[in-house]
Amino acid sequence: MGFLRNVWEHPRTSIAGMLVAIGTVAGVLGQQGITLGNVGTGTVVSLVSAIAAALLGMMARDPDRSANQQGVSTSGMGSGQVKLGVWALIALLMPLPFLGGCSGPTVAQNIVDWTPALQSAVASVDSAVALLSPGDVPVYAAATAGFDAAAELMIAQAKAYLANPSAGTLAQMQVQVVTLQQQVNAAMLQAVRVVNPESQKHALAAIQAVGTVVAVMLSLVQSVSSKEAVARMANASTVKMSAVLPLVDQGLVAEMVAAHYGEPVGVARMKVTQVERAEISAGF
């Protein structure tokens, strides 16, 4: 990490120079047969987080300097724009653990690793009833009916796939993850009918927590599914993500993903946005 320390101590180093350094590191790793796709996720997260700290620290200490020496112009760009660009760079460097490129067993383990979060989120849905006004409880209860059973079935099928990552167990999981996703999407839309503003806020937050886990699981299942299977899954998805997104607190979603993968919230936000776009493009 010596070059990162040099960047911090010499803030006149440009972003272009940093990119050259990153490229050099990647090239050396490539010569050794190592890619960012097959080193440990935690290692890559740590590396990119360090790069993030160096870049953002550099911009904080020297926010208005142009990078003309490297042929990069920042004229007319505010520090906010530059920082946004830095986060975009970080998102490109960071592997997306819930997108494609992984083997069946790896994806299966990733899904199972999310199951405690799913159980916790469903439990929060149940306990949120106590936070609602009495008149809003029936609407909320109807919207979230069946969450417990559907979540437990999803967890069981995820564990079955981990134990036996076959075409049969994958097909069962494809059906169940879409079923659960549809329940959550429909519940989000129904929760809008909760009249009391504070009750509606609690209702949407609780349902959204389940939806965040399910969205990650859906993208993981897609990553090991054929194009034909993804098309079938999308056709079964009648309540589309685009209808639900306006109700979603993206900050809370990013915080939940960041906490699970141990990464900066800014990076998680970028990844969540990419996944949402990919899901909508796939027809979900």
Tell me the C-alpha distance between 187 and 205, whole Å. 11
Residue 266 has pLDDT above 70, yes or no: yes
**Rg of the chain in Å (alpha carbons):** 22
Residue 221 has pLDDT above 80, yes or no: yes
Question: For residue 278, which phi and psi values (nearest 5 degrees)?
Answer: -65, -40
Tokens, residue 273: 């946005």
Q: How large is the average pLDDT for residues 103-112?
A: 88
From the list 143, 117, 280, the residue with the least C-alpha distance to 204 is: 143
Q: What is the pLDDT of residue 92?
A: 46
Residue 268 has pLDDT above 50, yes or no: yes
Q: What is the pLDDT of residues 79-93, one digit of tens each?
A: 554 555 555 454 444
Tokens, residue 266: 């800014």
Instruction: Give residue limits of the domains in the chain.
Output: 2-93, 104-282
Q: What is the pLDDT of residue 124?
A: 96
From the list 149, 180, 248, the residue with the least C-alpha distance to 208 is: 248
Helix H, strand E, coil C: the string for the chain is CHHHHHHHHCCCCCHHHHHHHHHHHHHHHHHCCCCCCCCCHHHHHHHHHHHHHHHHHHHHHCCCCCEHHHCECCCCCCHHHHHHHHHHHHHHHCCCCCCCCCCHHHHHHHHHHHHHHHHHHHHHHHHHHHHCCHHHHHHHHHHHCCHHHHHHHHHHHHHHHHHCCCHHHHHHHHHHHHHHHHHHHHHHHHHCCCCCHHHHHHHHHHHHHHHHHHHHHHHHHHHCCCHHHHHHHHHHCCCCHHHHHHHCCHHHHHHHHHHHHCCCHHHHHHHHHHHHHHHHHHCC
Q: pTM of this prediction?
A: 0.69
Q: What is the pLDDT of residues 119-164, one digit of tens each?
A: 999 999 999 999 999 999 999 999 999 999 999 999 999 999 999 9
CB 241 within 8 A of CB 185: yes
